Amino acid sequence: MNSGTAGRRGVVAVAVRQSCFLVIRRSEFVVAPGKYCFPGGGIAENECEERAVIREMREEVGVDVRPICRLWRSVTPWGVPLAWWHVEMPAEFIFRPNPDEVASVGWMTLEELVARNDLLESNQHFLAALRRGEILLDMPPS
């Protein structure tokens, strides 16, 4: 994403279970290696946001999701517009992370994510907006 970002758009999947967010640690083979972030990626030409978030979750962690609603829009520090989608995962699932993109996958609380110094900047902005109440996400109290 360092070059040719004109016209690019991305989606981010926000999955919540028991007051924790699904996060990945990026593999050494992608931009920002080793950083923690919500799963997501680029939207293909002529692809809608919903299809993109489903595809990205399949590609990155091997799980089918159902997009619920768009939560927020932002622009990355390098100028790529992002659509943040609340997604629902099946009750039973097994993560199958793609090692080309994902080093690890797991669940973290809001507090754990906010405390990380290796969280992608765009994700920090999302969490700050969530804490300010700008994003409405139905989460049980922790």
- Domain borders along the chain are 10-131
Model pLDDT, residue 141:
46
Mean pLDDT over each residue of the chain, to the nearest integer: 92
Across 43-48, average pLDDT: 96
Which pTM does this prediction carry?
0.91
> Residues 51, 40: contact at Cβ < 8 Å?
no
Amino acid 31 reads V
* Alpha carbon distances (Å) from 20 to 16, 49, 140: 5, 23, 10
Q: Which fold has domain 10-131?
A: Nucleoside Triphosphate Pyrophosphohydrolase (3.90.79)
Please determine, for residue 5, whether its predicted confidence score (pLDDT) is greater than 90: no
